[in-house]
A and B are shown apart, each in its own frame.
Chain A
Amino acid sequence: MNSKHIACGIIALLILALIQLTLWAQNNRIKVQREAADAQMAEEDASTQLLREQSQLSDLRRQSADLIEFLRIWQPYFLTIDNPQSAEVNMSMRVKDANLLSLSQRFETAPVNGNASIPSSVKALLTFEDDYVRLMNWLGQIEVQMPTIRTSSIRLSKGTRASDLRMEVTLEQPMLKQ
């Protein structure tokens, strides 16, 4: 082997290096193009998922429009009295303002079963002995002015005086979960 052969070998090696370099560039291009294709598929998937999610949200909004409107109307009534202390004070004041003959007043907090949004209520156990009309009007006003109150139990019987009526009533003030 002489110097010409060595020179030829070196040039051949250079040619191989150039081929290798070109192949490397091509591989890089293919790799990035594959990544771009994957990214495009991911984008299409994300787009499909977004459309599905928006469709579900839209359906849910349409189906629940009445309920949400109901909530919008009623929630302020539930938020006016949001703790047991204010419920007791409010009820006591209403009894006092009505000037009814109250035999007993008792308040207790009780759990509400099967209602996650209203976990508890304040029960007012009240006993009156007064005129029938005054008692009925008071109860009617309470139920209208405080529409969230639930009259869970009521008992009417004769009072000690002939014109009086004894009314034992249990009123529940719901405590809406904040």
Chain B
Amino acid sequence: MQISDRQIDDFKTDRKDITPPLPVVLRLVPILFYCSIAVAIILSSIFFIQFRLAIKKRDDHRAQAAALAAQTQQSKNERAALEAQIKKATDIQSWVSGSRPIQPLLVEITRSMDPKSSILDLRLDRGIDDPTQIQMGLKIGADSNKQLDLTLSRISSMNFRAFSPSQTLGRGILDFKATLVRKLPQNNTSAGETEGTVQ
């Protein structure tokens, strides 16, 4: 028996309508999704590479800065040590400049005495505040200033200058006091100056 198409259709139950198609705009969503995946992968890869490079650069700079800081600290330590040495050298120089041999001056003063004169008392004291200065007290058995002039000239030949001199003469005793100061201070004092040997 022939059944016409129309008749078969007639047997079908009425099909409920499927969901309506999406609007055209929303059909772009999947396309956008695929594009965003591609763009995200590309950009993330670029960012990741740059991220890794930046980390390496940062770590390198930090390591270099730490090394420089260590060198700076070492340099500071060296400077501190050098300053301590300078302080020590200055202190030693201060001591040495106040410790120049006094014996040659003493010998020169005693040698300056005329046969007619005699030293009754001779005193040389280094200054407390400034040991380079010497307080001299000299008592001579002499009747005139001639002996004193001679002694002072010999002191002058030893590169000393008499400051604040005072003298009294009475009963054949000349009492002279002065502060002796070196004319030209020599900073580069060498160890072991020439010994003043007396014969």
Q: Is the CB of B87 within 8 A of A4?
A: no
Contacts of B169 in A (CB 8 A): none
Q: Is B101 an interface residue (CB 8 A)?
A: yes
Q: Is the interface of B mostly helix, strand, loop or mixed?
A: helix
Q: Is B83 an interface residue (CB 8 A)?
A: yes
Number of residue pairs spanning A and B whose beta carbons lie under 8 angstroms apart? 234
A53 and B55 in contact (CB under 8 A), knowing A70-B93, A150-B131, A152-B126? Answer: no
In Å, the complex CA distance between A39 and B58 comes to: 6
A22 and B40 in contact (CB under 8 A), knowing A70-B188, A156-B106? Answer: yes
Q: Is the CB of A25 within 8 A of B95?
A: no
A residues within 8 Å of B by Cβ? 2-5, 8, 11-12, 14-15, 18-19, 21-22, 25-26, 28-29, 32-33, 35-36, 39-40, 42-43, 45-47, 49-50, 53-54, 56-57, 60-61, 64, 66-68, 70-71, 73-75, 77-78, 112-118, 132-133, 136-137, 139-141, 143-145, 147-158, 172, 174, 176
Contacts of B107 in A (CB 8 A): 136, 140
Contacts of A54 in B (CB 8 A): 75
Contacts of B94 in A (CB 8 A): 114-115
In Å, the complex CA distance between A150 and B78 comes to: 33
Q: Is the CB of A43 within 8 A of B64?
A: yes
Contacts of A155 in B (CB 8 A): 121-124
Q: Is B158 an interface residue (CB 8 A)?
A: no
Minimum distance in angstroms from A44 CB to a CB of chain B = 9
Q: Is B150 an interface residue (CB 8 A)?
A: no
In the complex, 10 of the A-B residue pairs with CB atoms within 8 angstroms, ordered by the A residue number, are A26-B43, A36-B58, A39-B59, A42-B61, A46-B68, A60-B86, A71-B92, A73-B190, A153-B123, A157-B122
In Å, the complex CA distance between A158 and B62 comes to: 80
A43 and B65 in contact (CB under 8 A), knowing A32-B55, A153-B126? Answer: yes
A53 and B196 in contact (CB under 8 A), knowing A33-B50, A67-B89? Answer: no
Other-chain contact of A147, B86, B99, B131 (Cβ < 8 Å): B99
Q: Is the CB of B92 within 8 A of A78?
A: yes
Contacts of A117 in B (CB 8 A): 87-88, 91-92
Contacts of A172 in B (CB 8 A): 99
3 closest Cβ pairs, A-B complex:
A39-B61, A117-B91, A46-B68
A140 and B103 in contact (CB under 8 A), knowing A43-B68, A117-B87? Answer: yes
Q: Is B30 an interface residue (CB 8 A)?
A: yes
Contacts of B87 in A (CB 8 A): 116-117
